[in-house]
Amino acid sequence: MADVLPLVEARLRTALGEPGARAAVTFLGTERIEVLRFQEGDIVRYATLGMSAQPMSDPTAVVADPVKGPRAELVLSVRAGIADTDKVLRPLAVLAASPQVEGLIVAPGASLDVGEPLWPGAPFTSVLVAEPGGLVEDLELDEPLDPVRFLPLLPMTPNEAAWKRVHGAQALQERWLTSGTDLRDPARRSVPLE
């Protein structure tokens, strides 16, 4: 089996350019997770590298399949210069390690919560996992491996996360769209939810 991470990094570089910085985090009992930082104009993108090394497996499975199963990396885009968003590296690595640590399958529509602000002073403690394919195309791998999907993360305020649990991801995204919410604004307020 070929190591997928060099292929994943090559896909990220093709889509986002050369990373301006990278950091690595290793959690006890997990493989190393890197977070790469890309900047294009006033947008900073943070992409994980390492989550896709192993397929995500069903938490109810007795034995994890080492080959089959969904693979993904996470991508967060924010406006530069408004907040100290570089401190998001550790929370992003925690989210990327969650399939290994907690046996989660991260998929579009899911909420991921780190239990603390994503960066100092951030009004967000969680993210909504959005549909892939827009910014970075899926990376097809040789059979029988599933493709690597690059999942965009949309920061949510605690009120938005609670509203999403009741009404669903689609309803929250429609609310953001209707309100003209700038989801890349690292200091934005919660969308009106009445």
Q: pLDDT by residue (tens digit) across 138-192?
A: 999 998 889 999 999 999 999 999 999 999 999 999 999 999 999 999 999 999 8
Q: Are 120 and 187 in contact (CB under 8 A)?
A: no
Which alpha helices (DSSP H) does 64-143 contain, by range?
89-102
How many other C-beta atoms are found inside a 10 Å radius of the C-beta of residue 90?
16
Sheet hosting strand 33-40, strand order edge to edge: 21-25, 33-40, 43-49, 71-79, 148-156, 126-129, 111-113
Q: Are 168 and 150 in contact (CB under 8 A)?
A: no
> How high is the pLDDT of residue 1?
43
Percent with pLDDT over 90 in the chain: 73
> How high is the pLDDT of residue 150?
97
Instruction: Spell out the residues 6+ positions from residue 72 whose beta carbon is closer than 8 angstroms to its own.
Output: 51, 52, 56, 106, 132, 148, 149, 150, 151
Kindly tell me if the per-residue pLDDT of 2 is higher than 80. Answer: no
More confident residue, 61 or 96: 96
Pairing of strands 71-79, 111-113: unpaired
More confident residue, 159 or 69: 159
Average pLDDT over residues 19-48: 90
| Residues present in the chain in total | 194
> How high is the pLDDT of residue 8?
96
